């Protein structure tokens, strides 16, 4: 594994207690960063933090956050800054699939909840974290600002998976948010990019029908699902100073499915 330099950086990873978020956390820690996990699942968060207790003392912590609630995100941001001094990196990873069904069969409540978690949540985190990043490393507003925002989107947001209109639409919205915010911040030291992976075998598979999983695999020329470690490697580079002239971009990691 190549070591990308994140030494001294403070990263927030949403949904970091498992799956892709956990893999990103592990890669960031290996690269020298301090990581604060924001997760709604307290039991899973406590379990994950206990696993890091001996190996990464003082370098990883967590907060229970309801990412769709503006007040909860504001409070988490304030607590993180109070504890760590700043936020250099934000990874918007938390997400749900919302199950599968045709557009006309999906329950409106499930449709709304999927959009709330996958799109409104990242909007709210950016709303509160970006001003912190713009203050610069000193935290006093004397700049220059530094920040890296990595949004975990999906190839479904580019192509639209059948029987997943809610998930596809939410990830398409996240891609558009990435492009807009990237342009707004392009000259201010904060870079915003998205990763659009093919499916990875995570706990989210439990929310999907077997035939939908088979459909996703059939679309990947490499004939396998992406490994969470592969997504984490891309996230680490996008979070680093080496990524210096890319913003508002979407980075595919789809095993050949998406070649545009």
Q: Where are the beta strands (DSSP E) in the chain?
A: 10-14, 34-39, 60-64, 89-92, 147-152, 190-197, 249-253
CA distance 131 to 141: 10
Site of tokens 């020298």: 32
DSSP 152-192: E--THHHH--TTBHHHHHHHHHHHHHHHHHHHHHTTTTEEE
Burial profile 184-218: b = 16 or more Cβ within 10 angstroms, e = fewer? ebeeeebbbbbbbbbbbebebbeebeeebeebbee
Integer Cα distance of 32 and 20 in angstroms: 19
Based on the residue annotation, tell me whether 123 is a catalytic residue of this protein.
Answer: no
Q: Is 97 helix (H, G, I), strand (E, B) or coil?
A: coil
Given the residues 123, 146, 167, 215, select the one marked as catalytic.
167
The residue behind tokens 């001094």 is 85
- Both tokens of 176, joined, read 């558009």
* Residues forming the active site: 167
């Amino acid at each position: 594994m190549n070591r990308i330099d994140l030494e001294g950086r403070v990263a927030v990873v949403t949904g970091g207690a498992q799956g892709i978020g956990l893999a990103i956390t592990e890669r960031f820690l290996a690269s020298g960063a301090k990581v604060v996990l924001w997760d709604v699942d307290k039991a899973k968060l406590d379990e994950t933090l206990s696993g890091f207790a001996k190996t990464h003392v003082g370098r990883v912590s967590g907060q229970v956050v309801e990412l769709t609630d503006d007040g909860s995100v504001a409070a988490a941001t304030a607590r993180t800054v109070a504890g760590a001094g700043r936020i250099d990196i934000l990874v918007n990873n938390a997400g749900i699939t919302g199950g599968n069904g045709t557009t006309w069969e999906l329950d409106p409540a499930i449709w709304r909840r999927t959009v709330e978690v996958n799109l409104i949540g990242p909007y709210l985190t950016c709303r509160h974290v970006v001003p912190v990043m713009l203050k610069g490393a000193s935290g006093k507003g004397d700049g220059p600002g530094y920040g890296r925002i990595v949004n975990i989107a999906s190839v479904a947001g580019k192509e639209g998976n059948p029987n997943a209109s809610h998930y596809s639409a939410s990830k398409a919205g996240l891609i558009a948010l990435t492009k807009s915010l990237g342009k707004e911040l392009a000259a201010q030291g904060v870079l915003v990019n998205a990763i659009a992976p093919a499916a990875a075998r995570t706990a989210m598979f439990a929310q999907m029908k077997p035939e939908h999983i088979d459909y996703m695999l059939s679309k990947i020329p490499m004939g396998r699902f992406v490994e969470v470690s592969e997504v984490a490697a891309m996230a680490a580079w996008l979070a680093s100073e080496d990524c210096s002239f890319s913003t508002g971009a979407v980075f595919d990691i789809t095993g050949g499915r998406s070649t545009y």
